[in-house]
Chains A and B, each alone.
Chain A
C-alpha cells in the first residue's frame, strides 16, 4: 500500500534517510521522540514535501503525483492542521459531501453526535479533544482504504484518547482490508492497535518489529555489576548504567530467563524500546 524506499530529506543539519513499508491490510506504527522525523515521513507519504532522494509510492503511484481520485482513497488526520477553525461542523459536512463521492454523511453525523461534536459551533470554540475527534472522523468518513494519522491522540486525556482509538478499531472491523499508518509517542496507543512498529530516531529507522514480538520477546534486565560482567551480551541491544548496576534491553527474553534465573526480568514495551534504543549507552 505504501512503500518508502531510501527517502532522503534534508532540513539544515537534520538529515532523514528511511525506508519503510505498509502492506495491504496492515496497521503500522511509527514511534520516536519529538523531532525524530515522524511527521516528515508522514508528509513525504502524503506528497506534502518533495524528497531530496529516494522514492515514496502510495498504491504504486509516486506520492507527489497522486491524483484527486487516488487521494480520495486516503484519509489523513494531522496533529496540527485541519479545516479552517472559522468553519462549523455543518460547513465541513457540506464540503466533504462535495469533495468525496463516497462520503458517508449518516456515519459522520451519527459519530459527531456520539462524540459530542456540535454541528453549529465554530471549530475555533472546540476543545483540543473535540478538534482531534473531528480530524479523525473526517479521515474515516469516506471509506478510505488507507488512513494516515500523525499523532492522532497527542495532548488528549485518557477518555478522548480511548474514544479516538475506539473509532479506529471500529473502522478496522468494518474495513478489514484497510491499511493504517500512524505515528505516536504514546506506547499504549500503538500496542493495542498496530501489527508492526518502526522506531525512528534522528532521521533513521533503528528498528522494525512486529508488535507481538516486541511484547513477547523484548525485555528489560535489571542486573548487578558482578552479574553484568559474567553476562552473555550476544542478545543485549542496549545498556544503561544505574546506581544499583545495569539495565539492559534484550530481544531474547527467553534466553536470559532460562540461563540467568537470578536476574530481574521485566516485560518490554514500546516505551522501553524508545528509551533504551534512543537514549541507552
Chain B
C-alpha cells in the first residue's frame, strides 16, 4: 500500500466536519465543576481587596479562588522564565489578566459569581504599551527586576538582546544604501476552538489534566515540577485541538484549574470564550529597522536589521521567538556582511506567544519591502534582484547553515504562475517576496507501532493533530511500510498515559521528526518479521530483503502480514516496533542546534486597488514552497492555502486596537476582522517544489508556515505598484491605503 504522494481521506476528518469529534468542551466528567475567570476593565491596577461575599451567596457557587488562596509568594511559571503568576500577583499588568476564578456547579452560576466578585483596585497611571514607552529613559518597569536576577537587563523592560551576524559592514562598499523602519501589529490566533482546561485529582494523589494543548508532554513536565509530583502521577489528556497555530503550545491556565480541582476535590473545567482568548494569546508586535547596501548590479553587500519585539507582560516563549527569528532575519540571501539585533521587550499587554511563522513574518515584512525600494532605486526588476541574491542550492548562507533546496526554482515557479512581467490592467500591481523559517533545532520523538494479528495496525504518537493532518500522515507512513490498508491503521494520540514521549508539536516538525520515529518503529517491525521469516523458511536473514510491506525471499515474495500470521499461529499476538528520532542539542550553536530543514516560500500576488476608497482586491495569489516531497499533496495544499489566508489577515485587516490606557478595544469577532471566504483572492494557487531532498521519510520537509511568511510584503509590494505609495505599517486597511493616496494631493 504505497501511500507516499497520495491524498487519502483525512484521519479524523469525518468527525470534525460532522460534529462528532469530541473537543475538550464536549467532555463532561461526573461531578464536574465549572470555573469562570474574574477580570477588571483596566490594564494596570494595584489590587487592594477582593470581596467574594456576594459571589459566594449565589446558588451554585462553590468557592472563589483568589490570589491569597494560592501558595505564597505567588507561585509563578513559564517555559523560559518563571514569571507568570497563577493569578495576578498584587497587580494587574495587562487588560484581562485573571484576578480570581469562581468555581460553581454550573457555568451560569460561575458566570454570575464572576460578575458578583467585587475587586477593589487602584488604577495605576501610565503604562507601557508601545516600544517607545518601553525604551523611554524614565520608563516604568513592567516586571520586578527580582524576577530576573543576574540579567544585565534586569533594570529595564528589555528581557534580552540577541546579537548575530558575520562579516564587517562598510557602507563605503555599497553603491546604494537604503534604510527604513516598519511596524507589524499585534494579532491574535483566533483558533475556532477557544482554549479549554480541565483538571481532576486522582485517587492515588496524582493529577489528571485535560487541555487543548499542542505539547502534552511539556504540560506534564511543567505541572509535575510545579505540583511536585512524579511524571507518572501527572496524566495529560490532549484531545485533538480545533486549531492551534502556536497559541496552544505553552501551558497558560492549567495551573489555576489544577489548584481549583485540588481545592474542590472534584473535577473543574474552564472553557474560555473567544473574547477571552484575545487576552490569553497573541503574536508579538514588532518595530523593524532595516538598512541594506547594494552594488550597482543589485548584489547585496550588507544587511543590518534591528528588531524590537513588543511582547506582553510575561515572556511566555517570546524570547525564543526573538532569537530564532532574528538568527534568520537576513533571509535566504547570500550576503557578505550581516548585523542583526533582536530585542525582547515587555509591555503591559496580552502575553505574546508562538504563532505560525514564529517571528519571521514580522521581519520579512520589513526586509522584503526594503529590497523592493532598492530595486526601484537601482532600476532593477524586483524578481531579478531576488534571483541575483538568493543563496544557491547547498550554498552556506548563515553560519552552520546551507540552502537545503533549489530556491531559485521555487522563485521562478511562482513568478511564472503570477505572470510576472505581463502587462498590468489599470489600478493593478504585482508583488513578489521570498522568506524562510528555520525548522526545529532540537527534537525528540518516540513512537510505538503495533502490527496486529489480522494485519491491521496501531500507531502511538505524542503529536497533537490540531487540523494540520498529522493523523493522516502517520497512517500513510505505517500503511506504506507495513503494507496495511489505510483504513485499517488506527492512530492513537493525546494521552500521556498511553502514548510515548514527544517533545512538542511545533515548527512544522511532526511529519519529519515523529514521522521518522514512526518509520523507524515500522523498520523495527520489519526486522522482527524478517527474523520470523528466516526461522520459518530456514534462511539466513541476510538472504531476505525488506521492502515496504513485503519480504523478498530468494525464490519468492511474501507479504509481511502473512509471515507474521504464520509465525504467530496458533496463539495469535502481534509484532510491536519502537522508533526514536533524536536531534540533539548543539551546545555551541546560538540556537542550540541547526535547523532540521528550512521552510522556504515564494509568494507572488496581484492586486487591484480602488483608488477612491483604498480597498484592495486580490486578483491572484500564488505561493510556492519547497516541501522536499509532498507526502500528502492535498494536505500540503490545504496548509499552504490556509497559511496564505491567515497571512492575508495581518496583511489586510487584523490588528489589536488599544485605547490610551492600554485596554484592547476590539476584542471579539465584531471589531477584530479576520479574513472570510468573501475576502479571498479571486484566484489562488499553491505549488510545491519536490526534489526529495528533505530530512524526513521519503525526502520530505516540514510544511504549514511557509505560505504566511511573506504574504504581507508580497501584497504590500503589489499595492505599492498599483498606487505608487509606500506603506510601512500593517494592516493595509482601505483607510490606511486611502490615507497614503491622499499624501501629496
Check if A and B associate.
Answer: no
Task: Give the interface of B toward A (CB within 8 A).
Answer: none
